[in-house]
Amino acid sequence: MSYFYGAFGFVLREIYHLVNNYGLALIIFTFIARLLMFPTSISQQKNTAKMQRMQTKVKKIQQKYAGDQRKIQEETQALYSREGTNPMGAGCLPLVIQLPIIYGLIGVIYRPLKYVLRISDGDIATLTTALKNVVEVTKSSERTIQLLIIENIDKLSGAVPTDIFNKIASFDFEFLGLPLGQVPQIKHPSALWIVPILSGLSSLASSFFMYMRQRSSDPQAAKNPTMGCMTFGMPLFSLYFTFQFPVGIGIYWIASNLFAFLQMVILNFTHSPKKMLAKELIEETVQRRSREENLKRVAEIKNNAR
């Protein structure tokens, strides 16, 4: 993961130099990441329309081979193979792409001195030793040692050269008054709770919009219990997830949810399921007629040859 840490550290450092606020830099970074994922979202939208069209064909197979489950599975698998469609893969792709981004950001947010401020390991070790002399550092807080250094930098004057001290002291590691390095505690209510709450609400907005769109385009699929679990399960996951990591990760997660919601609204107009389904039907009709025309020509050639 050090390659991701280095790459994300470089990007966040450059954005930070432009806006001079680490929280805002995280939001801009999220926007760039979502922008890069936009083609994937379009592809997912197209795949959704194709899967809706496929359901009609799957139902015909189920009716034709009713009672023979093995034959139904074989014919359905053959259908997906012919159409080049994977019913499971496309829906997970955006999440799979986000995972390295999340893990990369976790590493950078836990180690901002190394990857954003580019302070050497030797100087960080000196600061760590000095910190332990003035603040009690437990074993569980070892991974957040660089965050503790930033929070207690005023107590470490003289521990390192002045230029490094000034670099850390002037580092804006807050967003709207919230320290990005602290972790919200479920058992201890505080202002930090606003981050998990907003994370859950932003995720709920995206999930509910997706559910309503699915209900409009495919009412039968919307009745699937799995759809309901996803609609309310993901917001609960977002709520729990942002209680486990520093506020900076929560800021990224909220921004990602909001940009994803905005992306879905835009795609619903530019690549609506109904439009995509109509386009899929037209393309399928054109391909079928082309095949039929080719078969007629082959037949004519054979007849002429005789």
Residues 48, 260, 223: CA angle, nearest 5 degrees: 45
Distance CA 44, CA 92 (A): 10
Closest Cα partner for 34 from 262, 235, 188, 298?
262
- Cβ atoms within 10 Å of 164's Cβ, excluding its own: 20
Closest Cα partner for 277 from 224, 209, 225, 216?
216
Closest Cα partner for 21 from 154, 170, 146, 164?
170
Query: What ranges do the domains of the chain cover?
Result: 2-117+171-271
Closest Cα partner for 154 from 138, 165, 142?
165
Question: Distance of CA 72 to CAs 27, 36, 56, 88, Å?
Answer: 48, 39, 14, 18
Distance CA 253, CA 140 (A): 24
pLDDT tens for the chain, residues 1 to 306: 777 788 888 888 899 889 888 889 989 988 888 888 777 777 766 676 666 667 777 788 888 788 778 888 888 887 777 766 665 554 555 566 667 777 787 888 888 888 888 898 888 898 888 888 887 777 767 778 888 888 888 888 887 888 888 888 888 888 888 888 788 888 888 899 999 999 989 888 888 877 776 666 555 555 555 555 666 777 888 888 888 888 888 898 899 888 888 888 887 777 666 666 666 667 667 777 777 777 778 777 777 766
Question: Tokens 């829906």 label which residue?
Answer: 91
Task: Tell me what pLDDT residue 197 has.
Answer: 92
Distance CA 147, CA 107 (A): 12
**What kind and span of H or E run contains 247?**
helix 247-270
Distance CA 244, CA 221 (A): 33
**What kind and span of H or E run contains 304?**
helix 273-305
Distance CA 113, CA 5 (A): 12
Distance CA 114, CA 131 (A): 16
